[in-house]
Amino acid sequence: MKTIELFAFDLDGTLLDTAPDFLYAVNILRERYQIDEADYDQVRSRVSQGAASLASYALDLEGESAQKIESRRQELLDIYEDCCLKHTDIFDGIEEVLTKLNSKKIKWGIVTNKPRRFAEGIVENKLGRFKVPFLICPDDVGARKPEPEGLIHALEISHSIPKNSIYIGDHKIDITAGERANMLTGAAAYGYIPLNDNVATWDSGYIFKEAREIISLIDDN
């Protein structure tokens, strides 16, 4: 088995369980518009699809104009900014994964679609003790996954070879981005998988049902 020199991770639904704070924000938004509380599973399944998907679900905006959805997306994000550290925590097993990577001096970092406005503070608060080597956001590269620019930048700054590097995420777009960057890919099946989606159809190189399963891949190095 080839040595993996770089482990790159998605953030929401892969390293951090941010869904409880998105649920909190969605319910505040729904309360403003006199709508009953949201279903947690519906919110959880949409986190990795972005704030527009969450806002559309929260206010039943399917079929509405892009302008209206964007306005409500911004409203939701303003709420989220005030509560994004309320309930968020690392997934079970991630502490062991990151500790193992650091102890073996294996390169790793984060490539996320989350704007730096949110990601930087959350990463520092929840993952700062692991001394995250790099955090790459759409703001940094001018593109969002599934476009590969963020991963290509990660490969460049870490001086890593694509075929010897892996990207792990909990959405099909993560796998697509990894493939476009010519990297190995891993599906975080414990994350925010969209309802009625099937991780087995993503054609990822690896499927991790629990975060701890990533450790076996590290140990093979």
- Catalytic residues, by residue number, are 10, 12
Task: Please name the fold of domain 6-17+88-219.
Answer: Rossmann fold (3.40.50)
Per-residue pLDDT of the chain (221 residues; tens, 9 = 90+): 579 999 999 999 999 999 999 999 999 999 999 999 999 999 999 999 999 999 999 999 988 899 999 999 999 999 999 999 999 999 999 999 999 999 999 999 999 999 999 999 999 999 999 999 999 999 999 999 999 999 999 999 999 999 999 999 999 999 999 999 999 999 999 999 998 999 999 999 999 999 999 999 999 88
Helix orientation angle between 19-32 and 66-83, rounded to the nearest 10 degrees: 120
DSSP 174-209: HHHHHHHTT-EEEEETTS-PPTT--GGGG--SEEES
Q: Please state the pTM of the whole predicted model.
A: 0.95
pLDDT at 116: 96
Enumerate the domain spans of the chain. Answer: 6-17+88-219, 19-83
pLDDT at 221: 81
Interatomic CA distance for residues 41 and 142, integer angstroms: 31
pLDDT at 2: 72
Sign of CA dihedral 193, 215, 135, 160: negative
